[in-house]
Amino acid sequence: MIDVLYFAWVRERIGLPKERVETQAATVADLVEELKAREARYAAAFADVSALRVALDQELSDFGASLSGVREVAFFPPMTGG
Amino acid sequence: MIDVLYFAWVRERIGLPKERVETQAATVADLVEELKAREARYAAAFADVSALRVALDQELSDFGASLSGVREVAFFPPMTGG
Amino acid sequence: MTVRVQADSFDPGAELAGFASGRTDVGAHVSFTGIVRDDSGQLQHMEIEHYPGMTEKAIAGIVAEAVSRWDLRASLVIHRYGRLAPGEPIMMVATAAPHRTDAFAAAEFLMDYLKSRAPFWKREVTADRAEWVAARDEDEDALGRW
Amino acid sequence: MTVRVQADSFDPGAELAGFASGRTDVGAHVSFTGIVRDDSGQLQHMEIEHYPGMTEKAIAGIVAEAVSRWDLRASLVIHRYGRLAPGEPIMMVATAAPHRTDAFAAAEFLMDYLKSRAPFWKREVTADRAEWVAARDEDEDALGRW
């Protein structure tokens, strides 16, 4: 079980800020494929992963990274702070 | 007649902040030579003009500049504002 | 090295007044304040979403990197989230250092990294629509100079 | 574009609070405050001499150059002269611009030029001597980047 969080327009497209996901995905990219296969709203949110960023346990990471030992994955667009 | 002003350690070496000088000097460098010839304190203040800056009528200038039409000459070390 | 992530507004003047005051080992304070801009006159408000937990970690990491690179004696980072009106302060960075070059460089570094590496997302709301602010290539490129 | 040359002290926080406030066309304020530093613990006070008349002209020229180079909407320059105690503010620069890169660049430009082109001279007074601060090559070199 992994906590998956969504922010900004990713959250809006998927329609929720957070969910617990039962997955055996080895990498972030594998998890994204599983989510896209679920429903159209996920496919829409993840249509272009180059427009997305991912954090693993609150550290910026990348889509090739392993999910081994990870408890929290977050997907969001590029940040616009400051 | 030209007003000649001195600041910082130039003022201290010469011993006054301002004086009126009767001169026919064509350039700043000529004026410096006239002043150096006056007294030892002037010679000391102007011993190394590369350590000095000059302003003509309150605009930074240089030692080769003409004094034609100039009413106020100021000599001082490099500035240390800010 | 103070970091505050908050919904409440704040007063940049009061923050600067209280920043690194009474010290004689610093010669330079630099501050940056980001303000809600309204070029069109149409903006009703800005909304800022953030990622609680990661936000604080990311900012602490950016500050630690600045401290390792420059001779900083104090720093302040305040960043708001939630709903902000035009003209209100969004965030503030302040740095104190013996020399001005360190204070300026650290403040610009903190700003560049807060822009693109701290998990905040801005949305602009006008009478007829709400739009997420797009990240700008220049902001990502700015990281390359450090 | 405000310029003040004064003997009196000032409050940088109050100055920032009053600077370019209530505007919605600027997104970035940058401030720099220079403070009397006392590394040795021996400094009694600093004395700043200036060239009345030329000082104001020189600063106005530096500000005009900054305005011609960057999209500045407001600026503030305050510079003191006379006797200053350790920890007191010497001078302050503030800039307001739509974008942060302009506000930062203009503030650094103003600082670099005020350092080496505005007619101020600093002297440090300790119990046993008074010494004119020497201009630093790095400060002159800093002008080359603009």
Q: Are B10 and B36 in contact (CB under 8 A)?
A: no
Is this model's pTM higher than 0.90 or not? Answer: yes
Which residue ranges form the domains of chain C, and what is each CATH number? 2-8+25-145 (3.90.1170.40)
- Interface size C-D, in CB pairs within 8 Å, comes to 111
pLDDT tens-place string over residues D24-37? 999 999 999 999 99
In a domain, A82, yes or no: no
Mean pLDDT, chain C, whole residue set: 96
Residue found by looking up tokens 């039962």 in the block:
A22
Retrieve residue A64's tokens: 């090739």
Cα–Cα dist D28/B49, whole Å? 43
In a domain, B40, yes or no: yes
**CA of B78: which chain D residue's CA is closest?**
D135
Residue found by looking up tokens 């309150």 in the block:
B58
Predicted-complex ipTM score: 0.94
The minimal CB distance from C115 to the residues A7, A76, A81 is found for: A81
Indicate the burial class of C82 (C-beta count within 10 angstroms; 0-12, 13-18, 19 or more): middle
Q: Are D88 and D9 in contact (CB under 8 A)?
A: yes
Domain of residue B53 covers 2-76
In a domain, B82, yes or no: no
Count of domains observed in chain A: 1
What parts of chain D have a pLDDT lower than 70? none
Judging contacts by C-beta atoms under 8 Å, the chain D residues touching residue B82 are 34, 90-91, 111, 114-115, 118, 120, 139
The per-type count for chain D, helices as H runs and strands as E runs, is 4, 8
Percent of chain C past pLDDT 90, that is, above it, reads 89
pLDDT digit of tens for each residue in chain B (82 aa)?
999 999 999 999 999 999 999 999 999 999 999 999 999 999 999 999 999 999 999 999 999 999 999 999 999 999 999 9
In a domain, A20, yes or no: yes
Bridge partners, C82 (sequence order): C48
pLDDT tens-place string over residues A44-70? 999 999 999 999 999 999 999 999 999
In a domain, A81, yes or no: no
Query: Distance from D87 to chain B by nearest Cα, in Å?
Result: 15
* CATH number reported for the structural domain that contains residue B67 in this entry: 3.10.20.30
